[in-house]
Structure 1
């Protein structure tokens, strides 16, 4: 996979899968723009990219803000002239509670980041790609966009919506040379996953981690780098006729029906 001369834009690039994707793009020759609502985290990722020998730019943005999204798109084009790869990755997990007890404000917050944020990214990046004659987008969905997880109604609903956006947008822009796919991770070994486990089992998060890992057919969580490898494949010429698809990276979780235990 050779991304020399290409520009990759990654939201949620300050940590986890987003940071791993930025580092992977850098190793394969791309200039990288990392977007995150945490400016310090975004700059830390950008520094990792520079250490890998690639050009980097960090942009602080709230993906739920149309003005901020337009600004990160405009900044990328002004700095590098184009957007070849867009990893529409920013997202939050929300609280864990049964549907009948789920806080309305928390539900709206999850949908704002995970759905509206993804929509706005597509809304303002796609015209750039169409005008330049092509590009590749990967939306970060989840196995929660394919199967249910009790206690995570907002997250599940939002990731189902991301897959719907992926399919719809992919069909709309395929003839303009733009490909749009989704990656669907299962549990990933990230700080966000550890925070979720602490929320579910505050008295024994380590025990919950051990049970969750044991429930995986592979016996472990995916690493951010393993998910990033699939993201790069979908952005590369190796996937030149792949669009509107969902690629699962979950250690067999969805194939066997295992689920992360949650309250509710």
Structure 2
């Protein structure tokens, strides 16, 4: 019994030291930002995440990313990364952000504001598309033909149309430094708990449904995330009015905001 107690204490001490070390190391996203410092435009999307938590041994947290850069004639180039080890803090920070942009650079301006896929530099940007009205009179975003592949790159088919009113809600959240997940109260359009993300990221969805341990880790991390909503609103994707957020423990507000320097429809 004495040996077991000593072994347990050593394991806890090792975990504490490792955890502190992880807390201060650069995240993979920071490393990618440094490596792409010569680029004027890029988008980093959280593609997948995994975790293993143990009582007496080291915990593991991992991310996969989708990186979009611009090639010739502003045609997007896509790269999906392998698994990266991340710190527990970084895992918790973005535990609610599957399928979301977690870093972007637009016209040379860097942001780590979490945004729905494609929103930071492409949706609303008249270089890539325009607003079109449907039969009910609502305006939704349409990419020009040469950029039609962006719908697939950002998995927009899984999330439904981007309506202008919802996009206005996003810009309002963005400018006030709050993350935007769309949808009505309790039913986000984007992020970890959205049906769109579950369809667009089947490996993550299968992991959530097949492993209660992993699901509990994600749920705990979302509730503890320093980026979660402490107060605020969740806006409808088809209405420009904001609703009071009754699930404030699940979704986060961002820590920074910036204004766009170029013209974007209606902004």
More helix per residue:
1
Same-fold call, TM cutoff 0.5: no
Q: TM-score, normalised by structure 1?
A: 0.30
Higher strand share: 2
Structure number with bigger Rg: 2
Provide the TM-score with structure 2 as the length reference.
0.30
